[in-house]
């Protein structure tokens, strides 16, 4: 096969995978919309967060005024600024329906996928981009967070913009890329506390001279991003704004108690695997009491859930092995290595260190959704490992990769039909979940 034919085939695969992921994402949004009326009855952690965000959004939609802070974060403290209020309340002005803000999440994920596919195709080629989309775009972790309003789910987009802006700035400073970088570094803290990973990552890249900054562009973006912080500044001056600093825990807790640091370290590998924690395993309706389930095959379905969960956990081993190979292969960067691939490896390694540093400094134990902002970067080592092995000549490697990709289908179906956020539940099961 000629190079042009191979590139055309890879480009067609990129388009096909993106369309498939987009279809699944819309499918999940439809199911989440059907299940939306039962959210106030569930009173689980995720449901409570959605309710809090919607109350904030309705307040903004009705008053058209920003509060100094948006919502309370894990560990206390409040998200500063008006940006999150605009993201949630703005759609409610245009469409007076509680499902409207979830369309912002949908759009953010679509835009992130397009940005990442385009950037990686230019940096690494169409074949790499196609493999990457199989890992990232069809990731159960990403798809789970793509169809309902939740502030961590919005962080996939700034992560994609960050990768694009830094890649554009790898050789020379550009005003557009620096402007985007300044803007997202001011808007990210107004969206979710995981902004710290992006801040630390940017600092590492600057110190290592992996990016070149156009300081005028950066300042211009920061000024625009600061505009939504004006209500917070006014609130602090008037004494009416809640503190944005954490009230619980201790800064640097992960350095004292090693578990929080280890948890953040592990979550990097989980981002590149099929495992997405208790949100996908323990909340499955199929594994509730069979007497309460509306499905006659509940025990069989529960067994399938356990098998899929076990395989998903085992997939973390593949992500660990891929990251080990990817980072270790950077130790012998030679003149034969492609400059873009070398830079991308250093970017991903810097992101890994940023996750570890942020986990060490965090006043609370890092959970999976706290590092969702690292999902785009964490999927790159797995994609690079598969791309390096392609075509898959060894039978056992071929079956491992096939299983790793195909397992996304049952995982996503179990999410769509078994998770309370995506399924209309009988009243008896709602009561069990509430308890």
Distance of alpha carbon 74 from alpha carbon 326, whole angstroms: 33
pLDDT tens, 187-197?
A: 999 999 899 99
Question: What token pair was written down for 299?
Answer: 């025990």
DSSP-assigned states of every residue in 230-271: HHHHHHHHHT-SPP-S--SS-TTHHHHSHHHHHHHHHHHHHH
Q: What is the mean pLDDT of the chain?
A: 86
Check residue 248 and give its pLDDT.
61
Q: From the DSSP assignment, how many helices (H) and strands (E) are in the chain?
A: 22, 2
Phi and psi torsions of 283, nearest 5°: -95, 10
- The DSSP call for residue 73 is P
Residue 158's closest CA among 373, 370, 353, 344?
373
Top pLDDT among 72 and 387 is at: 387
Is residue 420 within 8 A of residue 35, CB to CB? The reply is yes
Question: What token pair was written down for 253?
Answer: 């807790």
pLDDT higher than 80, residue 320: yes
Residue count (the chain): 435
Question: What token pair was written down for 200?
Answer: 């630390």
pLDDT tens, 119-168?
A: 999 999 999 999 999 999 999 999 999 999 999 999 999 999 999 999 99
Check residue 2 and give its pLDDT.
65
Top pLDDT among 9 and 180 is at: 180
pLDDT tens, 80-108?
A: 999 999 999 999 999 999 999 999 999 99
Is residue 188 within 8 A of residue 198, CB to CB? The reply is yes
pLDDT higher than 90, residue 199: yes
3-class DSSP state of 213: coil
Is residue 128 within 8 A of residue 383, CB to CB? The reply is yes
Is residue 418 within 8 A of residue 286, CB to CB? The reply is yes
pLDDT higher than 70, residue 69: yes
Instruction: Please compute, for residue 138, the number of CA atoms within 13 A of its CA located in the half-sphere on the CB side.
Output: 25
Give the predicted TM-score (pTM) of the model.
Answer: 0.93
pLDDT tens, 344-388?
A: 999 999 999 999 998 888 877 778 888 999 999 999 999 999 998
- CA distances from residue 65 to 68, 82, 83, 227 in whole angstroms, order as listed: 10, 9, 12, 14
pLDDT higher than 90, residue 291: no
Q: Cis before residue 391, ω within 30 degrees of 0?
A: yes
Distance of alpha carbon 211 from alpha carbon 217, whole angstroms: 14
Packing angle of the helix pair 395-406, 380-389 (nearest 10 deg): 140
pLDDT-based confidence at residue 42 (cuts at 50, 70, 90) = confident
Check residue 3 and give its pLDDT.
63
Number of other CB atoms surrounding residue 430 within 10 Å? 17
Check residue 337 and give its pLDDT.
56
Question: What token pair was written down for 24?
Answer: 């699944």
Check residue 214 and give its pLDDT.
95
pLDDT tens, 217-242?
A: 999 999 999 999 999 998 888 876 66
Share of the chain above pLDDT 70, in %: 86
């Amino acid at each position: 096969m000629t190079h042009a034919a191979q590139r055309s085939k890879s480009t067609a695969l990129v388009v096909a995978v993106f369309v498939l992921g987009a279809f699944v994402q819309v499918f999940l949004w439809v199911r989440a919309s059907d299940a939306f009326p039962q959210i106030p009855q569930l009173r689980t952690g995720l449901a409570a967060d959605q309710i809090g965000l919607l109350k904030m959004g309705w307040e903004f939609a009705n008053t058209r005024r920003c509060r100094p802070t948006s919502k309370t974060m894990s560990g206390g403290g409040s998200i500063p600024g008006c940006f999150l209020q605009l993201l949630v309340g703005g759609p409610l002005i245009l469409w007076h329906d509680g499902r409207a803000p979830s369309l912002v999440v949908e759009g953010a994920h679509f835009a992130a996928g397009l940005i990442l596919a385009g950037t990686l195709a230019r940096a690494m080629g169409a074949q790499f981009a196609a493999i990457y989309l199989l890992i990232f775009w069809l990731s159960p972790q990403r798809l789970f967070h793509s169809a309902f309003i939740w502030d961590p789910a919005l962080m996939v987009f700034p992560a994609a913009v960050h990768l694009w802006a830094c890649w554009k700035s790898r050789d020379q400073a550009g005003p557009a890329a620096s402007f985007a970088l300044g803007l997202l570094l001011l808007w990210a803290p107004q969206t979710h506390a995981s902004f710290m990973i992006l801040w630390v990552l940017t600092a590492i890249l600057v110190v290592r001279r992996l990016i070149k900054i156009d300081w005028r562009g950066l300042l211009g973006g920061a000024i625009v991003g600061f505009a939504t912080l004006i209500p917070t500044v006014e609130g602090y001056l008037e004494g009416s704004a809640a503190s944005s600093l954490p009230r619980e825990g201790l800064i640097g807790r992960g350095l004292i108690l090693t578990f929080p640091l280890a948890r953040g370290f592990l979550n990097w590998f989980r981002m590149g695997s099929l495992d997405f924690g208790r949100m996908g395993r323990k909340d499955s309706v199929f594994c509730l009491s069979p007497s309460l389930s509306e499905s006659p095959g509940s025990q069989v379905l529960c067994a399938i859930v356990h098998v899929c969960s076990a395989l998903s956990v085992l997939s973390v081993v593949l992500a660990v092995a891929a990251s080990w190979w990817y980072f270790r292969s950077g130790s012998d960067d030679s003149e034969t290595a492609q400059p873009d691939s070398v830079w991308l490896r250093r970017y991903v390694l810097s992101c890994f260190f940023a996750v570890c540093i942020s986990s060490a400094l965090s006043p609370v134990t890092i959970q999976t959704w706290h590092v969702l902002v690292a999902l785009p970067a964490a999927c790159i080592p797995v994609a690079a490992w598969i791309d390096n092995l392609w075509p898959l000549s060894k039978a056992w490697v071929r079956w491992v990769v096939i299983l790793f990709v195909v397992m996304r289908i049952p995982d996503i179906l179990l999410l769509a039909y078994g998770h309370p956020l995506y399924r209309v539940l009988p009243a008896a099961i709602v009561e069990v979940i509430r308890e």
